[in-house]
Amino acid sequence: MRNTYVPYPVRIKKAEVATEDKQLKTFLLEFINEQEGEDFNYIPGQFAELSVSGYGEIPIGIASSPTEGNDLLFTVNKVGSVSTQLHNMNEGDIMGVRGPLGNSYPLKEMEGKNIVIVAGGFAVTTLRSTMIWLLDPANRSKYGDITFIYGARTPGLLLYEDEWRSWRESGQANVNITIDREAEGWDGLVGFVPTVCEEVAPKPDDAVALICGPPVMIRFTQPVFDKLGWQPEQIVMSLENRMKCGIGICGRCNVGPEYVCKDGPVFTKAHLDQLPKEY
């Protein structure tokens, strides 16, 4: 049995600055040992610990989908020593990945239902994974209508533009992309995510909503869904707070009796309503 503290060695296959402010960088990682790539079985919604020798490790949501092969995609925000060092690394450099960790979005339970995905800013990573998985030819027929709502402050801060444009052009999903304020050259939606949610008005009938974004987006989006008649058990959210070890040992990420890293990071709104507001 593999020691859960030991990372898999991976090579940076591709590294690209992802946003105009250069705060976000996207990394495509390939396993040094091909069999370890085969063994890294994950489901959209899970995360992994990315490690840089001499600096430590950080928990990051997996942005790739298992339907895309064994290479792993991560988008990393430059906010501390590990992420800064990671941003300084180049294609071909070796680093570590430990995981997959945490639970996942309830894809099996979502079968047969309409799916609404709401993302804000950097939090779109694991929802990109989910969209790729849902739209894969092997999975698309298992789900009803798919609505994708995603917003950022400016066009240059939107992630994965090639993907969401292709989803829209394919007609397989109702894709709504918005920015906070008017910007030169932008011909899409303008307005905050909660406002766009109210305009799109996704119906709760036989549906599940996956919502992930900054706290302020969550705070103002939730009343919109309440007004539209959504019930807490229909809303699935992903928490990102204070994770460290990733396996429920260090006790840094607990919300009441639940460890976000081990029991989450995915929780239904109904479940969160029973926990202290420590997230």
Question: In angstroms, rounded to a whole number, what is the distance separating the alpha carbons of residues 265 and 243?
Answer: 9
Question: In angstroms, rounded to a whole number, what is the distance separating the alpha carbons of residues 110 and 22?
Answer: 36
Question: In angstroms, rounded to a whole number, what is the distance separating the alpha carbons of residues 101 and 48?
Answer: 6
Report the pLDDT value the prediction gives residue 81, as an integer from 0 to 100: 95
Q: What is the pLDDT of residues 5-59, one digit of tens each?
A: 899 999 999 999 999 999 999 999 999 999 999 999 999 999 999 999 999 999 9
Look at residue 168 and tell me whether its pLDDT is greater than 90.
yes
Task: Give the torsion sign (CA, 59, 62, 66, 72).
Answer: negative
Q: What is the pLDDT of residues 221-249, one digit of tens each?
A: 989 999 999 999 999 998 876 777 777 77
pTM tops 0.85? yes
Helices (H), the chain: 34-39, 81-88, 125-135, 161-170, 193-200, 215-227, 269-272
Distance of CA 186 to the CA centre of its chain: 25
Q: What is the pLDDT of residues 128-143, one digit of tens each?
A: 999 999 999 999 999 9
